[in-house]
Amino acid sequence: MLKGLLSLVSVGPGDQKQITAAAQASLKNCDLVVSYGLYLNWVSDWIAEKEVIVKDLTFEIERAKTAIEQARSGKKVCLVSSGDIGVYAMATLAFEQMSEEDTFDVEVLPGVTAALASASILGAPLSHDFATLSLSNLLCPWQWIEDRARALAKCDMVVALYNVQSKTRQDGIYKIIEIFLEHKDPQTLCGIVANAYRPEETSKITTLEELLTCRFDMFTTIIIGNRHSQRKRNWLYTPRGYAGWSTTKHIQSEKLPLNEIPKCAVFVFAGTKDGNQVASAISQDGFKTVISTATQYGKEIANLASPESFQLSGALGKAARAHLLKENFPLAIVDATHPHAEKISKQLIEISEEEKIPYIRYERPAVELTDYSNLNITTVCNYDAAGRLAVSLGENILLTTGVKDLEEILRGACLKDFRDSEQKWFLRTIPDKNSIAQAVALGLPRANIIAMQGPFHTHFNQALMEQWQINLLIAKNSGQTSGLDAKLEAATNLRLPVILVEKPEVNYPKMTADIDEILLYLKQIGAKNA
């Protein structure tokens, strides 16, 4: 009887060019192929005359048993798996089903697994120590997954996440991201790759914090960088350390001085001029006040406005923020964040409800667009729509929306980065080097960026638009103190069309535009707690 051969064949991510020569030779020389149907599309050139047995997903054990039975009968069998057959795939199942008495030969042919395929599309994010973590709890208890994620986050390992989000498992990925946010900088660079090396391939570089706003599927791989991971042009990479670790350009969020935070204080979430004014008024009225801002730059501005308040900076995930608040027994939460920062507002509302912390929103007065009836204003509901509309309306386009939403604008404009555009794009942003670096990485020339702290008066806006020969303005509808009036007046004087991104809808449980009303509300809470 012929001695059988079981070849455990890896066929990579979905592109014939990524299949090794050894795998191709094994497929050409075998008697029988056992596979899931999708993988056969990638190997059809080498198995045209072969016997093929196809079994669907969830029939992995049957596939392994069939391949082993055929190898026992003396056949040369290829058991095929995508990626690398030894990574979250069929190889280990085949070994489990074998017997010590089996005599057929076995060979394992490696391939390009999802982590490596995705990393190559992003750049070189796995150049230092890294780990992989599957989020599928079909064969692994969910608690183990959380425990492993927590350990990886604590040691700041680069991590590639597999089996990210299925139709029946929607929330797990966000729990894992929250765990990482408890231990890692929210601005840690991350990469998202879907359908690597397949026709539907997409990729994106973003931040750990922004992952919470994204949707995924089972064809997505996420790579979470470490504190040294960096972006250059459209590439993500993690240094090996040849230049020394002291040269890294990545800036971590400051370590929160948890033991110094005053207890029973009013937590004011700010980051805007009027938010700092609210905090200053609360502090001057005799309340212990903590001002929380997302960035170190925001903290510096807040400290100038209200030096008597306790300052915190650094974006946090919901779980970490809830823990911070719970440990310090806040008198109340005052949400004075930017009108377009709906994510943090929704997070604060949820925390206030869950932890029974009084909440009030300070909402700056709106700009009356009817005052600009002679101006050609098109309102849109998101930045994707703004980008899509901009390419048909302008040639020299001024963005006054900041850097956070640049990628969404690019997506709407069907651009990979601003260098691919037929239009000239200009940006006004805050003088924060991380913001400038992010804009440059997306292809904006440094000569097209002005980094200054606003708001600015009409004449300044008009002079800037004239200098850059702007013929389309994109702005946020962010209320009066944002300087929107001055932008619209300048656009009116120059007869420029305007795309205005409307404020997102948030169901605030309590809201006011009157600082005195906030002070009265806090006094009522203080009286109840006395």
Q: Domain ends where: 53, 88, 112?
A: 112
pLDDT category, 144, cuts 50, 70, 90? very high
pLDDT category, 109, cuts 50, 70, 90? very high
Span 353-363, average pLDDT:
94
Residue 490 has pLDDT above 50, yes or no: yes
Span 166-182, average pLDDT:
87
Residue 252 lies in a domain: no
Q: What percent of the chain has pLDDT over 90?
A: 53
Start-to-end CA distance of the chain, whole Å, equals 91
Residue 335 lies in a domain: yes
Span 327-331, average pLDDT:
90
Residue 4 has pLDDT above 70, yes or no: yes
Q: Do residues 399 and 446 both lie within one domain?
A: yes
Say if CB 7 and CB 35 are below 8 A apart. Answer: no
Average pLDDT of the chain to the nearest whole number: 88
Q: Do residues 377 and 489 both lie within one domain?
A: yes
pLDDT category, 189, cuts 50, 70, 90? very high
Residue 121 lies in a domain: yes
Q: Do residues 33 and 67 both lie within one domain?
A: yes
pLDDT in tens, 472-488: 999 998 887 778 888 99
Compute the half-sphere exposure of residue 106: CA atoms within 13 Å on the CB side of its CA.
15
Residue 255 lies in a domain: no
CATH code at 75? 3.40.1010.10
This prediction's pTM: 0.56
- The angle formed by the CA atoms of residues 377, 379 and 381, to the nearest 5 degrees, is 165
Span 322-343, average pLDDT:
89
pLDDT in tens, 41-89: 888 889 888 899 988 877 889 999 999 999 999 999 999 999 999 999 9
Q: Do residues 399 and 411 both lie within one domain?
A: yes
Strands 396-399 and 424-429, sheet pairing: parallel
Q: Do residues 92 and 123 both lie within one domain?
A: no
Residue 254 has pLDDT above 60, yes or no: no
Cα–Cα distance list, 473 to 122, 172, 414, 501 (Å): 32, 40, 19, 11
Q: Do residues 430 and 458 both lie within one domain?
A: yes
As a whole number of angstroms, the distance between CA 175 and CA 190 comes to: 16
CATH code at 333? 3.40.50.720
What's the confidence (pLDDT) of residue 530?
61
What's the confidence (pLDDT) of residue 256?
47
From the number of C-beta atoms within 10 Å of its C-beta (0-12, 13-18, 19+), residue 166 rates as middle
Q: Do residues 235 and 289 both lie within one domain?
A: no
Q: Do residues 375 and 485 both lie within one domain?
A: yes
pLDDT category, 187, cuts 50, 70, 90? confident
Q: Do residues 108 and 18 both lie within one domain?
A: yes
Residue 249 lies in a domain: no
Least Cα distance to 113 among 20, 180, 235, 35 occurs for 20
What's the confidence (pLDDT) of residue 248?
36
Span 372-395, average pLDDT:
90
Residue 26 lies in a domain: yes
Q: Do residues 12 and 35 both lie within one domain?
A: yes
Residue 250 lies in a domain: no
Q: For the chain, what is the domain count?
A: 4
Residue 522 has pLDDT above 60, yes or no: yes
Helix (H, G, I), strand (E, B) or coil at 130: strand
pLDDT category, 126, cuts 50, 70, 90? very high
pLDDT in tens, 433-454: 778 888 888 889 999 999 988 7
Residue 346 lies in a domain: yes
| Domain enclosing residue 168, as ranges | 116-242
Q: Do residues 385 and 494 both lie within one domain?
A: yes
Q: Domain ends where: 242, 271, 305?
A: 242
Residue 335 has pLDDT above 90, yes or no: yes
Q: Domain ends where: 66, 94, 112?
A: 112
Q: Do residues 92 and 153 both lie within one domain?
A: no
Of 21-35, 117-131, 255-269, 336-350, give the lowest mean pLDDT range.
Answer: 255-269
What's the confidence (pLDDT) of residue 247?
37
